[in-house]
């Protein structure tokens, strides 16, 4: 039996968090390759520390993109807003160690003769959806993202120039009868460029912004607030703590409300099922819930390197389903080709749409006209319902 009454917490981090700086650089490099050649192969990793960015990994694509990596990295850091002693887009040292994709991996992934494209690696991927928000996302992670995204907007364009790029938010929600009832604690740590600001003064400035991103009546009267609980937060970003691509996989997905297969997303082209199959699993789970077949749905897909079709498809509606889970498993397999090629073509994943995913979550966003966040569409709901 699923629990109906409990507390649950999720966190998000801003675009200026050291790990997110690295995720975005890796995805910006990926977008540059896909712009030059939609069939590029990219597995790009980034490490950042005091005044230094190191980029490495394996690629198959135009040399001109490899040669432009330093410019790409500086552009990302400039857009995020780092112009501080210890990490400045203009003065940081950038080292580029990208190299050619392994021939051993390529032979398993590439199509040849009667062989379709295989998965870029073995692994398990999960997708999740819940009807507790309009975006069909868990509320704690959804609103944690919203708070930080709004703080970035007012920092860049709303006149709140005292804010720095680095920040983390965390929400605890009380659930009653399985649905969000109230926010019982709010944690925000945000970099501030005025060293004289106290935690109380930071809270006074950010509390109206936070309240503006939360639905009316959701913040409990006795909600506990922790704003910059350690005190001063002036040194932020990679100068304050090193960053690495792929270290925020729970922030990127469902805030811990659903299983995770362990694979990171950023810097990987869509032949890597760590990314593309996780997007497909979210797409299917969201459409199951949108079809009214369940209030919550987990979809698991599994793959073997070099093999095109998934080894298994698993559905779990967490005691909220209107139909048998076996029927959902058969239906989602019937309505979508879940090979790497099928996923890529259905969701238009060979487009340069990835840099925008690197902060504020890969899920719960609105589909965009150029194909961005295509996995958030609910256009498959009728087909799944009919197949069931």
Task: Name the residues annotated as catalytic.
Answer: 17, 19-20, 45, 58, 168, 233, 241-242, 247-248, 268, 272, 274
Q: Tell me whether residue 168 is annotated as binding.
A: yes
Q: Tell me whether residue 156 is annotated as binding.
A: no
**Angle (nearest 5°) at CA 285 between 280 and 291:** 125
Q: Tell me whether residue 146 is annotated as binding.
A: no
CB 146 within 8 A of CB 364: no
| CA terminus-to-terminus distance, the chain | 24
Q: Tell me whether residue 95 is annotated as binding.
A: no
CB 175 within 8 A of CB 4: yes
Q: Tell me whether residue 88 is annotated as binding.
A: no
For residue 217, CA distances in Å to 5, 24, 182, 220 come to 19, 35, 8, 7
Q: Tell me whether residue 241 is annotated as binding.
A: yes
Q: Tell me whether residue 268 is annotated as binding.
A: yes
Q: Tell me whether residue 99 is annotated as binding.
A: no
Tokens of 14: 């801003």
Q: Tell me whether residue 201 is annotated as binding.
A: no
Instruction: List, in order, residues 6 or more apart from 41 with CB less than 8 Å away.
Output: 58, 59, 60, 61, 101, 106, 109, 269, 271
- In angstroms, rounded to a whole number, what is the distance separating the alpha carbons of residues 13 and 144? 8
Q: Tell me whether residue 166 is annotated as binding.
A: yes
Q: Tell me whether residue 370 is annotated as binding.
A: no
Q: Tell me whether residue 330 is annotated as binding.
A: no
Tokens of 100: 């050619």
- In angstroms, rounded to a whole number, what is the distance separating the alpha carbons of residues 347 and 337? 11
- In angstroms, rounded to a whole number, what is the distance separating the alpha carbons of residues 171 and 167? 14
Q: Tell me whether residue 319 is annotated as binding.
A: no
Annotated binding site for Mg(2+): 19
Annotated binding site: 17, 19, 45, 58, 101, 166-168, 232-233, 241, 247-248, 264, 268, 272
Annotated binding site for K(+): 45
Annotated binding site for ATP: 17, 166-168, 232-233, 241, 247-248, 264, 268
């Amino acid at each position: 039996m699923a629990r109906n009454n409990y507390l649950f917490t999720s966190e998000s981090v801003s675009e200026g968090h050291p790990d997110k700086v690295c995720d975005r650089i890796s995805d910006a490099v990926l977008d540059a390759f896909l712009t030059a050649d939609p069939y590029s192969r990219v597995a790009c990793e980034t490490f950042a520390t005091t005044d230094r960015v190191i980029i490495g990994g394996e690629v198959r694509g135009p040399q001109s993109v490899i040669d432009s990596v330093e410019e790409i990295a500086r552009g990302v850091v400039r857009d995020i807003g780092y112009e501080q002693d210890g990490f400045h887009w203009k003065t940081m040292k950038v080292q580029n160690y990208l190299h050619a994709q392994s021939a051993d991996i390529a032979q398993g992934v590439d199509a040849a003769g009667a062989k379709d494209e295989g998965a870029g690696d073995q692994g398990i991927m999960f997708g999740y959806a819940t009807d507790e928000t309009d975006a069909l996302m868990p509320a704690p992670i959804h609103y944690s993202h919203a708070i930080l995204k709004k703080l970035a907007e007012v920092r860049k364009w709303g006149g709140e120039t005292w804010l720095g790029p680095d920040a983390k938010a965390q929400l605890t929600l009380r659930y009653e009868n399985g649905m969000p009832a109230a926010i019982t604690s709010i944690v925000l740590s945000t970099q501030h460029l005025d060293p004289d600001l106290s935690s109380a003064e930071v809270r006074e400035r950010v509390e109206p912004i936070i309240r503006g991103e939360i639905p009316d009546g959701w913040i409990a009267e006795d909600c506990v607030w922790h704003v910059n609980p350690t005190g001063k937060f002036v040194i932020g970003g990679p100068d304050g703590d090193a960053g690495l691509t792929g270290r925020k996989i729970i922030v990127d997905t469902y805030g811990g409300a659903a299983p995770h297969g362990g694979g990171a997303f950023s810097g990987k082209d869509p032949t890597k099922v760590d990314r593309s199959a996780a997007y497909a699993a979210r797409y299917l789970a969201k459409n199951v819930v949108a079809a009214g077949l369940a209030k919550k749905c987990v979809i698991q897909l599994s793959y073997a390197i070099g093999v095109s079709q998934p080894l298994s498809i698993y559905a779990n509606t967490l005691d909220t389903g209107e139909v048998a889970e076996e029927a959902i498993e058969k239906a989602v397999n019937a309505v979508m080709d879940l090979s790497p090629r099928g996923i890529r073509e259905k969701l238009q994943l060979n487009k340069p749409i990835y840099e925008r995913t690197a902060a504020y979550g890969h899920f719960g966003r609105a589909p965009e006209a150029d194909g961005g966040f295509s996995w958030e569409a609910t256009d498959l709901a009728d087909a799944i319902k009919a197949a069931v």
